[in-house]
């Protein structure tokens, strides 16, 4: 009797292994240029455990197979975003909130690369563009007798309008200044981070290092906290 039970158990295990091997969405996926990697395995209830590493940010989430693809929701920078992993004509596509990325299935790295000097490469960062495009960014600073308010409107057509308003109050009176500018904006990814570049109409430009914050409506730009709202 024990022999038959053991045989049945081995058959079940073998079938599970065969199913895992036949499932095209179980394994390791990557896009080195975008610093993207995704590891997927299957849970006992046939859901999928996913671990995403995107430009140094590690996110764990689950998914289900619907219409021949894995899909679900994940949280990035406090925002809930839809995602899917699909395969079309032998090519894998990872789509996050409407932005698709071609990924390759392969073996996960077994050893860490030897540290080396990174090249200064410039390339777009689609995820950050998705986050800040069509947003109003507001920075507020208040101190004794002085306040500063910076507003940057980033339009979806890659143009911007910005203004800085400063107010000072002292025993001698009060005063205020206001400067405004407009031009074009773009996102670039360098070896030392992702940057927002503003090019003004007069040809001058300035760059802001973008960093995540816990609150979904806040980001750091050059270490300063900016609030994000949708443009009307």
Give per-residue pLDDT as tens, 53-106.
Answer: 887 778 888 888 877 788 888 887 677 888 889 888 788 889 887 788 889 998
Phi-psi region of 173 (alpha: psi -120 to 50; beta: other; left: phi over 0): left
Residue 203 to residues 89, 138, 146, 157, 183: CA-CA distances in angstroms? Answer: 45, 23, 30, 19, 9
Whether residue 224 is predicted with pLDDT greater than 70 in this model: the reply is yes
The ranges assigned to domains in the chain are 26-106, 126-230
Give per-residue pLDDT as tens, 21-39.
Answer: 568 889 999 988 888 899 9
Give per-residue pLDDT as tens, 110-140.
Answer: 755 544 444 444 455 778 988 899 999 999 8
Looking at residue 33, the DSSP 8-state letter turns out to be G
Looking at residue 32, the DSSP 8-state letter turns out to be G
The reported pTM is: 0.49
- The label of the residue with tokens 């995403």 reads 52
CA distance 83 to 205: 34
CA distance 52 to 37: 6
CA distance 76 to 91: 25
Query: Residue 151: CB partners within 8 Å, gap ≥ 6?
Result: 136, 137, 138, 139, 162, 163, 164
Q: What is the pLDDT of residue 119?
A: 42
- The label of the residue with tokens 């070896």 reads 191
- Identify the burial level of 111 via C-beta atoms within 10 angstroms of its C-beta, where 0-12 means exposed, 13-18 middle and 19 or more buried: exposed
Domain 126-230 maps to which CATH number in 1.10.390, 1.20.1070, 2.40.128, 3.30.750? 2.40.128
CA distance 200 to 23: 51
């Amino acid at each position: 009797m024990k022999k038959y039970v053991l045989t049945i158990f081995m058959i079940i295990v073998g079938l599970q292994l065969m199913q895992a091997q036949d499932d095209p969405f179980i394994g390791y996926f990557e896009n080195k240029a975008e610093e993207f990697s995704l590891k997927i395995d299957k849970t006992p209830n046939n859901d999928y455990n996913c671990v995403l590493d995107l430009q140094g940010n590690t996110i764990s989430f689950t998914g289900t197979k619907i219409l021949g693809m894995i899909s679900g929701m994940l949280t990035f920078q406090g925002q809930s975003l839809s995602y899917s992993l699909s395969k079309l004509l032998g090519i894998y596509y990872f789509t996050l909130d409407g932005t698709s990325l071609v990924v390759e299935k392969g073996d996960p790295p077994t050893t860490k690369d030897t540290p080396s000097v990174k090249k200064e490469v410039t390339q777009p960062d689609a995820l950050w563009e998705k986050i800040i495009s069509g947003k109003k960014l507001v920075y507020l600073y208040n101190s004794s007798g002085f306040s500063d308010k910076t507003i940057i409107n980033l339009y979806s057509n890659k143009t911007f309008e910005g203004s800085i308003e400063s107010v000072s109050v002292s025993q001698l009176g009060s005063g205020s200044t206001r400067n405004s500018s407009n031009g074009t904006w773009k996102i670039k990814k360098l070896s030392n981070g992702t940057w927002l570049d503003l090019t003004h109409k007069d040809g001058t430009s300035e760059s802001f290092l973008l960093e995540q914050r816990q609150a979904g409506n806040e980001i750091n730009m050059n270490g300063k906290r900016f609030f994000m709202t949708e443009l009307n």
